[in-house]
RNA sequence: GUGGCCAUAGUUCAGUCGGUUAGAACGCCAGGUUGUGGCCCUGGAGGUCGUGGGUUCAAAUCCCACUGGUCACCCCA
């Protein structure tokens, strides 16, 4: 019997974690500098939370969630995204009562049962942020600028920012009606998928990648032509702020996100470095969601980004993260010195020095090879002779220089 | 959920028209005159050829099913 990780899940191995940790550090740095604080929520929630927020008719809720009954019969779902949980926590803990604007971020695993593919796993990792309590376009742009800053710091430049406004509860229904009527005229020529969407979610038809659909809908009215004054003003403000901050973007009037809760601003960042799963990050405003989930009417805006897709680009670029290496490797030249080496290695560690020694009773040559493989900065060879004289040769494994040091002062050498 | 391609040492891959003890490189282990790594040299360990069935005197090789991987559709991070 051989056990394997579940289809679509992956081990992140010791050889890969340095790159993850490096990226995570930069992500956290940027969040901190933009003054977003981390929130950690459970990875599972009651199923209704996701159904209500993401939308019953979305693909995510309809066919991708890991939903099961626990032993007491409650319907539980592994979170497919982070916003719903963050807002649930915001409401449950009354975060809005003590602060007018809550700026939070998260980073962790998400779960969707899709067919695995390049850049698409069943357990994957997202980082994202939410600014809950602000209706302003300035906040939208802060979220977008922060997202881009992360990629910029990681040396990623090959991306495109697309933005759109999907309107609000007043102007979107009006537009949907107009679009639906237009689509019905050519319904029989559209792809099957698109035909199904005309009634439930006509805007998604415009986002279809089917070439025939694209051609048929080429001249259709866009949401951006039907925005009411408020949404229009908000959208204009977002665009002018982006320009003011020298952030390049393209307006895509057909951009619709796969989650139903967005209002006004929606955006997506894609990269040509990825395969067909080219979305690096996406987000937008959700002014109705907090109320929808049982809180007070509270506007908000946020984004989510995929860790694995970020990793794919960093790996492709051949980015080398700093590796974890011992400061010193203590080698025992003979069996009489092994006890001293073990004891001293332990002592150095308790003083905050990364020290390593051989645990496999290996030959001196093997120990030196190990020191080299571990990329230790120094090696110290100690045998009976050194124990007697109280001094040994400390070798710098990078520049190959050597020096004689007193065994009693070894700790000071590394702590000064 | 649908389709294409793929599955041989730890890893990346060879393996002829089906033919006898399945190879290479890298990695790993041990040595290279009795106490110093990286390069080099020598030797060694390591594979029920994804699983199950079928065809055949004979299957890593041909056929089928299953499982897994991968890429695309779809969807999205």
**Closest nucleotide over all strands to A387 (CA to C1'):** B35
A135 in contact with nucleic chain B (CB within 7 A): no
A392 in contact with nucleic chain B (CB within 7 A): yes
ipTM computed for the complex: 0.88
A305 in contact with nucleic chain B (CB within 7 A): yes
A187, two tokens: 């319904």
Mean pLDDT in residue range A107-127? 93
Q: What's the pLDDT band for A416 if we cut at 50, 70, 90?
A: low
**Closest nucleotide over all strands to A371 (CA to C1'):** B37
Q: Is A134 left (phi over 0), alpha (psi -120 to 50) or beta?
A: beta
**Per-residue model confidence (pLDDT) at position A319:** 87
**Residues A230-260 as b or e (16 or more Cβ within 10 Å = b):** ebbebbebbbebbeeeeeebeebbbbbbbbb
A110, two tokens: 């998400």
Residue-wise pLDDT tens digits, A276-298:
888 999 999 999 999 999 999 99
**Per-residue model confidence (pLDDT) at position A1:** 47
| Spatial distance from the CA of A336 to the C1' of B31 (Å) | 23
Cα separation, A330 vs A405, whole angstroms: 13
Where does residue A25 rank: exposed (0-12), middle (13-18), buried (19+ CB within 10 A)?
exposed
Subset of residues 110-129 in chain A with CB less than 7 angstroms from any atom in strand B: 112, 114-121, 124, 126
A385 in contact with nucleic chain B (CB within 7 A): yes
**Closest nucleotide over all strands to A63 (CA to C1'):** B1
Residues with Cβ < 8 Å from A244, sequence gap 6 or more?
A: none
A308 in contact with nucleic chain B (CB within 7 A): yes
What positions of strand B are covered by protein, i.e. any atom < 7 Å from a CB? Answer: 1-3, 28-32, 35-38, 67-77
A17, two tokens: 């974690």
**Closest nucleotide over all strands to A269 (CA to C1'):** B77
Q: What's the pLDDT band for A415 if we cut at 50, 70, 90?
A: confident
Residue-wise pLDDT tens digits, A384-405:
999 999 999 999 999 999 999 9
3-state secondary structure of A173: helix
Residue-wise pLDDT tens digits, A67-80:
999 999 999 999 99
Cα separation, A83 vs A60, whole angstroms: 14
Residue-wise pLDDT tens digits, A345-382:
999 999 999 999 999 999 999 999 999 999 999 999 99
Q: What's the pLDDT band for A258 if we cut at 50, 70, 90?
A: confident
**Per-residue model confidence (pLDDT) at position A198:** 86
Where does residue A267 rank: exposed (0-12), middle (13-18), buried (19+ CB within 10 A)?
buried
Can you state the percent helix, strand and coil of chain A, rounding each to 5? 40, 20, 35
């Amino acid at each position: 019997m051989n056990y394997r990780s579940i289809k679509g899940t992956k081990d992140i191995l010791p050889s890969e974690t340095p790159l993850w940790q490096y990226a995570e550090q930069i992500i956290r740095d940027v969040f901190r500098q933009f003054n977003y604080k981390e929130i950690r929520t459970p990875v599972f929630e009651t199923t209704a939370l996701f159904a209500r927020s993401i939308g019953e008719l979305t693909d995510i809720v309809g066919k991708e969630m890991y939903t099961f009954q626990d032993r007491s019969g409650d319907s539980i779902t592994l979170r497919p995204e982070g916003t719903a949980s963050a807002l649930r926590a915001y409401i449950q803990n009354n975060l809005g009562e003590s602060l007018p604007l809550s700026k939070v971020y998260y980073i962790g695993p998400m779960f969707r049962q899709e067919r695995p593919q390049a850049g698409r796993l069943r357990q994957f990792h997202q980082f994202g942020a939410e600014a809950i309590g602000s209706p302003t376009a300035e906040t939208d742009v802060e979220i977008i600028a922060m997202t881009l800053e992360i990629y910029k710091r990681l040396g990623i430049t090959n991306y495109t920012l697309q933005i759109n406004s999907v309107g609000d509860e007043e102007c979107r229904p009006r537009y949907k009606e107009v679009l639906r009527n237009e689509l019905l005229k050519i319904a029989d020529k559209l792809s099957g998928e698109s035909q199904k969407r005309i009634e439930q979610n006509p805007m998604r038809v415009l986002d279809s990648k089917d070439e025939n659909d694209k051609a048929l809908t080429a001249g259709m009215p866009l949401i951006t032509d039907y925005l009411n004054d408020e949404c229009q003003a908000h959208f204009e403000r977002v665009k002018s702020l982006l320009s003011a901050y020298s952030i390049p973007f393209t307006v895509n009037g057909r951009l619709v996100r796969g989650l139903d809760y967005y209002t006004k601003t929606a955006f997506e960042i894609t990269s040509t470095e990825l395969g067909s799963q080219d979305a690096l990050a996406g987000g937008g405003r959700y002014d109705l969601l907090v109320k929808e989930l049982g809180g007070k009417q509270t506007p908000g805006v946020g984004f989510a980004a995929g860790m694995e897709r970020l990793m794919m680009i960093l790996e492709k670029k051949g980015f080398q993260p700093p590796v974890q290496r011992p400061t010193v490797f203590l080698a025992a030249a003979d069996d009489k010195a092994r006890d001293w080496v073990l004891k001293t290695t332990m002592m150095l560690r308790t003083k905050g020095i990364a020290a390593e020694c051989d645990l496999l009773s290996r030959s001196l040559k093997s120990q030196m090879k190990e020191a080299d493989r571990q990329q230790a900065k120094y090696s110290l060879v100690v045998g009976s002779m050194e124990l007697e004289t109280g001094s040994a040769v400390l070798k710098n494994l990078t520049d190959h220089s050597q020096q004689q040091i007193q065994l009693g002062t070894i700790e000071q050498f590394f702590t000064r």
